Amino acid sequence: MIEVSHLTKVYPGRRNTEPVLAVDDLSLEVERGHVMGLIGPSGSGKSTLGRCLTLLERPTSGTITVDGVELTGLGGAQLRQARRAIGMIFQAFNLMDARSALGNVELPLQIAGVAAGERRRRAMDLLERVGLAEKASVHPRHLSGGQQQRVAIARALVNRPSVLISDESTSALDHANTQAIIALLRDLTDELGLTTVLISHQLEVVRDICDEVAVLDTGRIVRTAVRDEQHVLRYTNGEAA
């Protein structure tokens, strides 16, 4: 479960410009096993919020609690350990071309000091889950964009996180690959009991799989939608999303 309470992020101004209020006193909760969509135009604060959830950006004020652990109260080794509970995937796949698909997935475990046999077993299990077991020895430059993103998803999950954050992870993909990746994220959320946050500027990306949606503008949540008993995503005024 993710709990965000009165979160504010202010970036200092540059060259005598005013400070930028990127996230403005924002609060939200995401239940375990749910997919929360964060949507909004460029500059709405959604990606800043995503980086704050992992403490890649430290909030100016407010708290972020994941599975009962207040991340904003941690530092140093404690924070590094807590971050292992959060997997993150990005628009840019950020794969190392010098490593095979298997080597890329193994990398977080290697950094964590996990033994070679265990690294390989866990990485191969995840490549199989994302449908790429037969591509384990292939290097990223020989994979399609959709396949590279599947490797990135496997890498994000190899530390067995409880939370997965997807920041515009389908923006570089065509429609068919976008739909396939979104379906995969929904399946993995259900299968692994993840709490997933899906950040996008496109409502159609989140409409089919999200349990809830928060619409951001100028750092605030301006509208919310929840999936009803008929599995229709509806805004709080009853309008279908």
pLDDT (tens digit per residue) in 101-125: 999 999 999 988 999 999 999 999 9
**CA distances, 111 to each of 6, 80, 98, 147, 159 (Å):** 34, 12, 16, 24, 11
pLDDT at 241 over 80: no
Average pLDDT over residues 55-82: 90
pLDDT > 70 in the chain, percent: 100
pLDDT band at 90 (very low <50, low <70, confident <90, very high): confident
- pLDDT tens digit string along 122-169? 999 999 999 999 999 999 999 998 999 999 999 999 999 999 999 888
* Domain coordinates in residue numbering, the chain: 2-235
pLDDT at 177 over 90: no
Average pLDDT over residues 232-238: 81
Per DSSP, the three-state class of 150 is helix
pLDDT value of residue 215: 93
Which CATH code fits 2-235?
Answer: 3.40.50.300
Picking from 159, 30, 151, the residue whose alpha carbon sits closest to that of residue 87 is 159
**CA distances, 69 to each of 52, 53, 58 (Å):** 15, 12, 16
pLDDT value of residue 236: 83
E strands, 40-140, in order: 61-66, 69-70, 86-90
pLDDT band at 29 (very low <50, low <70, confident <90, very high): very high
Q: Using CA atoms, how far apart are residues 96 and 148, in angstroms rounded to an integer?
A: 11
Average pLDDT over residues 39-43: 89
Q: Using CA atoms, how far apart are residues 157 and 171, in angstroms rounded to an integer?
A: 20
Q: Using CA atoms, how far apart are residues 63 and 60, in angstroms rounded to an integer?
A: 10
pLDDT value of residue 155: 94
Task: Give me the half-sphere count of Cα atoms (radius 13 Å) on the Cβ side of residue 73.
Answer: 6
pLDDT at 96 over 90: yes
- Do residues 152 and 93 lie in contact, with contact meaning Cβ atoms separated by under 8 Å? yes
pLDDT value of residue 103: 95
Which residue is listed with tokens 């399946």?
187
Q: Which residue has the higher pLDDT, 232 or 9?
A: 9
pLDDT value of residue 27: 96
pLDDT value of residue 204: 81
pLDDT value of residue 196: 94
pLDDT value of residue 194: 93
- pLDDT tens digit string along 183-212? 899 999 999 999 999 998 888 888 878 999
pLDDT at 44 over 80: yes
pLDDT at 39 over 90: yes
